[in-house]
Amino acid sequence: MKAVRVAAHGGPEVLTVVELPTPKPGPGQVLIAVEAAGVNFIDIYQRTGFYSVTLPAILGQEAAGRVAGVGSDVQDWRVGDRVGFVSGQGAYADSVIVPADRLVPVPKGVSTRDAAAALLQGMTAHYLTTDTYPLKVGDTCLVHAAAGGVGLLLVQVAKFKGAKVIGTVSTSEKSALAREAGADHVINYLEEDFESAVKQITVGRGVQVVYDSVGQATFMKSLNVLSPRGMLVTFGQSSGPVPPIDPLILSQRGSLFLTRPTLWHYVASREALLARAAETLGWVAEGRMKVRIDSVFPLSGVADAHRRLESRRSTGKLLLIP
């Protein structure tokens, strides 16, 4: 099989396509023929060594495709089933072994490309708005990187949950995309200060929640635009890690809440994974959540995919197609 392997931490140039033996599924395992794999910031963090991963490693935690083989004790899956996963390792390949209990079915009406594009980022939007801070009618939320992969989905989910959405972007093209997704107000943070703009939009009241995947560049100002007892949800760090914070700051700014969630804790059980994936992919099938695929790359173009994601020029999902 063909796979993208990292033998040493570094820039995109360390991503190498290699030929390896196709693995065979053991007990409790399923062999997946990958049709599309998602490219995510966690892959970049593992490539650079910011997140620990044992080397050499095949990157990629999200993909969709068809079952190509099952272990002797696997009962739930059959060869040919359309499936996806978000918590495996080795998705940057044309074949990958995944534990049977971490697979989810891809429903009719959803392509494997859309499933690969929607699973990690769609379930992230799902848990952020449903569990971390359950949005309700009348809430106002601030979504940073509102035209990014998660951002566009967050905006859509927030709107059909009845919230008012303020989004931040960096270009006029991204502004148009965020508005198309349903954002009520869009702020180009390169042209105006988002803190001042949010306070003006909310007439000084602030927002109930900020969903922040940017990190370092937006963190303190995000705290400043929260209403009393509001919540800052920092779930990414595309601009760099957030600096240390004195908890007293949260009290001084209105008894604020600060959380740093990750999807894995919200899909830890089989039941939680199936339920969250079913509702997320159901939204895609119904057309309530529209997935935007920014670009697709062959395995040989994986370095370009990483460069595009790191540049923060992408608007939507990046996929590898083996």
Structure tokens at 228: 């009393």
Structure tokens at 304: 């370009």
pLDDT digits (tens, 9 = 90+) for 54-107: 999 999 999 999 999 999 899 999 999 999 999 878 999 999 999 999 999 999
Reported as type and span, the H/E element at residue 119 is helix 112-127
Q: What is the pLDDT of residue 134?
A: 97
Structure tokens at 247: 């908890």
Burial of 319 (0-12, 13-18, 19+ CB in 10 A): buried
Q: What is the pLDDT of residue 287?
A: 92
Q: What is the pLDDT of residue 44?
A: 93
Compute the residue count for the chain: 322
Task: Give the residues of the chain that fall short of pLDDT 70.
Answer: none
- Rounded to 5°, the CA angle 224-225-230 comes to 95
Q: Are 191 and 183 in contact (CB under 8 A)?
A: no
Measure the CA–CA gap between 157 and 150, rounded to whole angstroms. 11
Measure the CA–CA gap between 55 and 300, rounded to whole angstroms. 20
Q: Where along the chain do its domains lie?
A: 2-118+264-321, 136-260
Measure the CA–CA gap between 305 and 318, rounded to whole angstroms. 7
- Rounded to 5°, the CA angle 265-287-308 comes to 65
Q: Name the DSSP class of 205.
A: -
Q: What is the pLDDT of residue 88?
A: 75
Place of tokens 């702020």: 187
Q: What is the pLDDT of residue 223?
A: 96
Q: Name the DSSP class of 14.
A: G
Question: Which CATH number fits the domain 2-118+264-321, given the four candidates 3.90.180.10, 3.30.56.10, 3.40.50.300, 1.10.357.10?
Answer: 3.90.180.10
Residues whose CB is less than 8 angstroms from the CB of residue 319 and which lie 6 or more positions away in sequence, other chains included: 36, 37, 38, 39, 113, 116, 117, 293, 295, 296, 297
Measure the CA–CA gap between 5 and 58, rounded to whole angstroms. 4
Structure tokens at 136: 């309700």
Residue 102's alpha-carbon distances to 131, 232, 270, in angstroms, are 21, 30, 7
Q: What is the pLDDT of residue 313?
A: 77
Q: Edge-to-edge, what's the strand order for the sheet holding 207-212?
A: 185-188, 164-169, 140-143, 207-212, 226-234, 257-259
Cα 128 from chain centre? 11
Q: What is the pLDDT of residue 17?
A: 97
Q: Which residues pair with 97 in a beta bridge?
A: 31
Instruction: Kindly report the average pLDDT of the chain as a whole number.
Output: 95
Q: Are 154 and 183 in contact (CB under 8 A)?
A: no
Q: What is the pLDDT of residue 156?
A: 97
CB hemisphere CA count around 266 (13 angstroms) = 22
User: Is the omega angle on the peptide bond into residue 56 within 30 degrees of 0, that is, cis?
Assistant: yes
Measure the CA–CA gap between 91 and 20, rounded to whole angstroms. 14
Q: Are 250 and 228 in contact (CB under 8 A)?
A: no
Q: Give the CATH number of domain 136-260.
A: 3.40.50.720
